[in-house]
């Protein structure tokens, strides 16, 4: 894993993921159908071991995996955010999961997302940050829009969501737009 730095906002810290974040609570998020409704993780049954393997897959790679934690002591670890780096093309693909359902709707996802995207562009010098989500995922689509991303394509009828064909929509943030 690339040496990730701690990224701080007014309410959050994005901290390089560590063993201490591997918990039954984290595994529970990944096994909660509502949390992973729009994620390909919905097709798997997760365990502490599968989560550890995922975390370890970042070791010795250029990619980043952060735990999203609140600065206030409670609720603490509320989700994760990753960035897959393509150094040859100077871009990154970012993904986020706010697993702690009791904090949904408070803007934590947008706050974490914006901070990580700005870090990738401003601090690491990448020229483009991308994301994709299923078209019905209004929460993620709002995050992409509110963070300044622009439409960057669509894969029509790409996924099956509850038996229905849905598009994947993509968005991008470019360094010359910040």
pLDDT at residue 60, rounded to an integer? 92
Tell me what percent of the residues of the chain surpass a pLDDT of 70: 97
**CA–CA separation, 105 vs 174, rounded Å?**
26
Number of domains in the chain: 1
Question: Is residue 53 one of the residues assigned to a domain?
Answer: yes
Domain that holds residue 28: 7-129
**CA–CA separation, 13 vs 42, rounded Å?**
27
Q: Sign of dihedral through CA atoms 120, 41, 158, 165?
A: negative
Question: Is residue 1 one of the residues assigned to a domain?
Answer: no
Question: Is residue 19 one of the residues assigned to a domain?
Answer: yes
The whole-model pTM stands at: 0.93
Q: Where residue 37 sits, what CATH number does that domain have?
A: 3.40.630.30
Question: Is residue 174 one of the residues assigned to a domain?
Answer: no
Question: Is residue 85 one of the residues assigned to a domain?
Answer: yes
Per-residue pLDDT of 106-132, as tens digits, reads 999 999 999 999 999 999 999 999 999
Question: Is residue 140 one of the residues assigned to a domain?
Answer: no
* Element at 110 (helix H, strand E): helix 108-118
How far is residue 177 from each of residues 28, 133, 148, measured CA to CA in Å?
A: 38, 22, 8
Residue 142 pLDDT class (50, 70, 90 cuts): very high
Per-residue pLDDT of 70-96, as tens digits, reads 998 888 999 999 999 999 999 999 999
């Amino acid at each position: 894993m690339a040496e990730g730095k701690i990224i701080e906002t007014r309410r959050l810290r994005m901290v390089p993921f560590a063993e201490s974040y591997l918990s039954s609570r984290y595994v529970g998020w990944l096994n909660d159908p509502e949390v992973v409704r729009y994620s390909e993780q919905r097709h798997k049954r997760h365990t502490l071991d599968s989560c550890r393997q995922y975390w370890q897959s970042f070791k010795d790679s250029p990619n980043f995996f952060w735990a999203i934690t609140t600065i206030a002591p409670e609720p603490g670890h509320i989700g994760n955010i990753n960035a897959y780096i393509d150094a040859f093309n100077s871009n990154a693909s970012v993904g986020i999961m706010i697993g702690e359902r009791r904090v949904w709707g408070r803007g934590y996802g947008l706050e974490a997302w914006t901070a990580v995207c700005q870090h990738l562009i401003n601090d690491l010098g990448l020229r483009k940050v991308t994301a994709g989500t299923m078209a019905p995922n209004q929460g993620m689509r709002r995050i992409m829009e509110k963070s300044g991303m622009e439409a960057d394509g669509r894969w029509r009828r790409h996924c099956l969501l509850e038996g229905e064909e849905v598009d994947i929509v993509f968005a991008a943030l470019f360094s010359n737009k910040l």
